[in-house]
Amino acid sequence: SAVISQKPSRDICQRGTSLTIQCQVDSQVTMMFWYRQQPGQSLTLIATANQGSEATYESGFVIDKFPISRPNLTFSTLTVSNMSPEDSSIYLCSVSGGQSSYEQYFGPGTRLTVT
């Protein structure tokens, strides 16, 4: 399985500011994803990060709010822009990989608190 790291692991931010979260994988992967987990809730897919093209966003998520970069096959960033307290969540990146290539593996997450 891939080893995935995220930076920062946690942050406390002021409303109106932006935070960029980094996701680094120890091997080249085709598919990278960004999820949000609001307090006490399940995971919701934000977008699929495509290498060399624009990210594909799920319903309810827009590029202006959550711009994503995917400059190569091992790295991606998610920016949470113009933050409000409602953006307080855990943000997780995941990759597909494994023997079947369909299994997904998750990073440790970034705990964001917006005050």
Partner 1 sequence: GIQVEQSPPDLILQEGANSTLRCNFSDSVNNLQWFHQNPWGQLINLFYIPSGTKQNGRLSATTVATERYSLLYISSSQTTDSGVYFCAVELNTGGGSNYKLTFGKGTLLTVNP
* Nearest-approach distance from CB 72 to partner 1, in angstroms: 19
Q: How far is the CB of 43 from partner 1 (least distance, A)?
A: 5
Query: In the chain, what is the straight-line distance between the N-terminal and C-terminal CA atoms, in Å?
Result: 36
Tell me how far, at minimum, the Cβ of 102 lies from partner 1, in Å.
5
Residues 6 or more apart whose Cβ sits within 8 Å of residue 36:
43, 44, 46, 89, 90, 91, 92
Residue 94 near residue 109 (C-beta atoms within 8 A):
no
Is there binding between residue 66 and partner 1 (CB under 8 A)? no
> For tokens 């406390």, what's the residue?
12
Q: Is 45 a binder of partner 1 (CB under 8 A)? A: yes
Query: What's the residue count for the chain?
Result: 115
**By the rule CB under 8 A, 98 interacts with partner 1:** yes
- Residue 34 makes contact with partner 1 by CB under 8 A: no
CB of 106 to partner 1, least distance (A): 4
Judge contact between 90 and 36, C-beta under 8 A.
Answer: yes
Task: Assess contact for 19 and 83: CB atoms under 8 A.
Answer: yes
Would you say 41 or 82 has its CB closer to partner 1?
Answer: 41
The contact set with partner 1 (CB under 8 A) reads: 1, 31, 33, 41-45, 48, 58, 90, 92, 94, 96, 98, 100, 102-106, 108-109, 111
